[in-house]
Amino acid sequence: MEKTASQADLGTGPRESASRGAGAGLTTGALARRLGVSPTTLRSWDRRYGIGPEVRGEGRHRRWTPRDVAVLEAMCRLTSAGVPPAEAARTASRGADDAVALADDVEAAPTGGARTRASGTLPLGDVRQECRGLARAAVRLDAPAVEQQLASAVDDHGIVVAWQEVMVPTLHAVGRKWASSGDRYVEVEHLLSWHVSSALRRCTRPLGTPGPAHAPGPVLLACVPGEQHSLPLEALNAGLCELGLPTRMFGGAVPAEALTAAVTRIGPAVVVLWAQTRSAASLPLAQHIAGAQWGVRGARGRPVVMLGGPGWLGRPGPGMLRPTSLKDALDVLSGLYSQGTPAGS
């Protein structure tokens, strides 16, 4: 199990000291963020199973001591391993060591055993603490907690860090778990992906009034034909909106003809083409888009093309931008717009 927070974070540790006042221990909201569950879940466990705080402040506000946290961490591990909540609560109340042993037994049981596991731990490795809370919420299919964890990550760290250091590691862990477990955990990936997409879209702002006629066109973002993995593009779109740059987001699997038509109609300064797989990355398509033109004779424009995603690795793309990360892409694009760079000529 993970190490509990220090007494400096949680207030005084022993029960006698914790009872001195409402200032001791974590609030329900803080503990929920730490564990990756919703505050409603903690209140429900308290009401149904007696897994509640030792200290209640003025007005019956819950204050959770280090011992409470240890019990709830055990409760979370057990429920994530598929132990029914009532049994998990009884075991967690007896002690964290018992809970760890039972969870290990459940996770080691064969699929056809007496107990069916609904979920389990994810292979996260060395990641931010927020990843662990998000993963716990995802494997429990606790949608309110997933939404809260994602919103907090964006609010606390901004789009770039939230995407690169919280969302992506957790998504990768879910993908690895799914790949190694047959069709299990696909529901976890779907729920997590949907909420990540929702969190990113909440960061986009409504389009403002059109800029002056001579201003560079927007950034057009599209997945190449056959490519449905649009989350990285949604992260880039959110980051560009955070910077106040104009965008047009077309999402997954845009047909080549539709993409070409959109380029000539919009006149974008930059076209970002995302390809997750090598089979989807079409260099002829990228070259065709780079050569697209619009405008009147003598004042025609062409877009700058940015190739994003691992599918483009090893593919020569002379004259095309090749960012290595979300931050790199945002830095390059903001630099182009700060210079007032028009579409290619």
Interval 62-115: pLDDT, tens: 678 888 888 888 888 777 666 777 888 888 887 654 444 444 443 343 333 333
Edge-first strand order for the sheet with 219-223 is: 247-251, 219-223, 270-274, 304-308
Distance between CA atoms of 107 and 97, rounded to whole angstroms? 15
* DSSP SS3 for 147: helix
Is residue 49's pLDDT more than 80? yes
pTM: 0.65
Do 46 and 39 meet the contact criterion of CB atoms below 8 Å apart? no
Per-residue confidence (pLDDT) for residue 198, from 0 to 100: 94
Residue with tokens 């250091």: 165
Out of 2-16, 197-211, 276-290, pick the least confident.
Answer: 2-16
Band (121; pLDDT cuts 50, 70, 90):
low
Do 48 and 34 meet the contact criterion of CB atoms below 8 Å apart? no
List, for residues 244-265, the tens digit of each pLDDT value. Answer: 899 999 999 999 999 999 999 9
Band (341; pLDDT cuts 50, 70, 90):
low
End-to-end CA distance of the chain: 59
